[in-house]
Structure 1
Amino acid sequence: MNSIQIQIPSLSENIRIVESFIDNAKEKFSLNDDIYGNIMIAVTESVNNAIVHGNRKDSRKNVTLQLKVDDNILNFTITDEGEGFNFNQLPDPTSPENLDKPGGRGIFLMKHLCDEVSFQDEGRAVILTFYLN
């Protein structure tokens, strides 16, 4: 199993570092463009959620991004140092009463782009899983 990890302070501009991390993973693991696009959107969205919602943009708190590759399965784990949240009570952004609300789209998007999305540690960690074939 291969594993790489970075840790960034909770500043929105650090999304650039996450993009570089994903670019490096694309090269290292020869990811095709289709899955690369899905990974880029889902992982940057998740890290942004961790920065904004999890750590409340507190630059003293970090977001950790870890990639584990095992038997054609990519697992990205994004962890924040926030209070967590109830991931079982997320509003559906596609229901009519929520269409105009800005929140709730990120996780909805992740679930469409990833093969699996799971939460751990009371919502402080999200695992985005992609199958390579």
Structure 2
Amino acid sequence: METNYKNAASVTFPSDPKNLRIAESLIDDVCHAHNIHEDHYGNILIAVTEAVNNAIFHGNLNDVQKSVSVDSKIENNQLQFIISDSGLGFDYHNLPDPTAPENIEKETGRGIFLMKSLADKVEFKNNGAKVLLTFTIGK
């Protein structure tokens, strides 16, 4: 794990759900280093952990031989987390609406909706195998 929390930090770990705590630790360290207000911290924690969960479960299909990377950087009052997996990606343009009546009771399908609700900007790269979450942290 890189420890330069002033500008950037990163971790890479096998796709085991138990390793979610590694990503949470990075989020904690980065937010602490930049005195992120607790209101923003909650949004960041939920959005990034949702992206990491998606990378583990959907991107890498729980294959511990594949890895997930979480990188962060801060520039111009913007905190960005980049979550990458080894999967093939997905069709992020055609996702079912989790708030539609036919999807309300489904156990999955809310992660990207949450990310888009909590982050200031969500971008997909590499056919969706890389997610960029941007949060305005203000000064």
Question: TM-score band, normalised by the shorter chain?
Answer: over 0.9
* Runs of 4+, deviation exceeding 4 Å: none
Deviation at 1:22, TM superposition (A): 0.8
Deviation at 1:103, TM superposition (A): 2.2
Q: How high is the TM-score relative to the length of structure 2?
A: 0.93
Asked whether 1:115 is paired with 2:120, we answer yes
What 5-or-longer segments of structure 2 have no aligned partner?
1-5
Asked whether 1:17 is paired with 2:31, we answer no
Cross-structure match for 2:61: 56
Q: 1:8-47 alignment to 2 at 5 Å?
A: 8-47=13-52
Calculate percent identity across the aligned residue pairs: 50
Cα deviations by residue, 1:64-101 (Å, 9 ceiling, x for unpaired): 00001001101100000011100001000001111122
Aligned length: 133
Q: How high is the TM-score relative to the length of structure 1?
A: 0.97
Alignment match of 1:84 (pick from 89, 92, 96): 89
Whichever residue aligns with residue 46 of structure 1, its letter is A
**RMSD, aligned α-carbons:** 1.0
Cα deviations by residue, 1:1-45 (Å, 9 ceiling, x for unpaired): 811111010000001111111111112111110111111111011
What 5-or-longer segments of structure 1 have no aligned partner?
none
Structure 1 or 2: more helix by fraction: 1
